Structure 1
Amino acid sequence: MVKKTDCQLVNAYMNGHEKALETLLYRHKLKIYNYINKKVNNSELAEDLFQDVFIKVILTLKEKKYNEEGKFLPWVLRISHNLIVDHFRVSGKTKLVNESVGNDDYNIFDFVKISELSIEDLMISEQTKIDLKRLIELLPDDQKEVLKLRFYKELSFKEIAEETKVGINTALGRMRYAIINLRRLIENKNLTFS
């Protein structure tokens, strides 16, 4: 597996070879973690975001929605950047996030300012939260618990594992299944979340 390209490993993982993802993670984890940590300047937050990034990567690959042929690392770094921006937007903080990824050239888009939400955005956001809370209540108890601890109490996966008295992989698995089940509920109820 170690000698395979990223593209070959992605294809292998999407075809059911779980070790392929482990190889990709081992190959790129330091670069991805360092990228996130450099942006947020907080190792605990960087660790949480890193885990969130790989949950999103796993879900996308499992659903066979990956189409960035041969560009796995830039794709993951883009996901990382988007989750960092989302984190600061949700937490209500205004922060400059450096968007350049390994590019020393000056770029007008190197800095993105996260601005306040408009009243319309706030109303849509509030309705989305209400709808999402209703859907979360339909999940199995163990998945619901992990989701609430992660998103409402903002606990790290390590803290969730300790609080629920399960291993970190079990906590991550429950989160993964909670997200999959939420997506199914959203599709079944024909809801749209932007």
Structure 2
Amino acid sequence: MNDKKVNILNASLSGRWALAWSESLFKQKLLLAIAMMLCLTPVFPVFYQYIEARQGYVYNDWLLNIIPATDVSIPIFTITWGMAIFSIIRVVQSPSLLLNLMYGIIVLNISRFITISLVPLNPPQGLIDIWDPITDLFYGATYVTKDLFYSGHTATQFLFFLILQKKSDKRLALITTTLMGVLVLLQHAHYSIDVIFAPAFTYLCYLLAKKFAN
């Protein structure tokens, strides 16, 4: 390990960021990630309103057929934004981890644009709208129910699992990933295939994002 890496590991939080910011490549990648996120933001409502207006098909999901729809919006909201805040607090302590998370979010959302476009689905029967005033800001004029394959709620939790470093943090993220998968099924907000395939797609997105970030 070279002296610069040792210095970064041993530095204070402000010191780590000062060292990272002194690297032109890090600076370029951070600014590029911020620019990409800003460019994606106005795309969200346009895309989601488009897919909400189109017709898809209803998947005959035997698992959902035996699960009574239950409103678990509050736990979904709590896990979604609680883990988001927790993960951000963790990754800002390491400039490289923050880059991984930022590029992970970018690649994950672009990936979902593609899969949702290719797999047009109508919402499951018995769907209960998820109460989430923060996420709704990205949807546009009307509530969106057709952003289905694959589950963004589950994928985001699994992305946290992949990026967080401490064993206890990873354990927590794995638990919230499992809980989120169960909760969105109880809400009938997703089909079982949306949840089952989310970790696999997320892992591929994570690998690609890591190449951009490193």
- Normalised by the length of structure 2, the TM-score is 0.28
Relative contact order (C-alpha < 8 Å, sep 6+): which is higher?
2
User: In terms of Rg, which structure is larger?
Assistant: 2
Normalised TM-score (structure 1) = 0.30
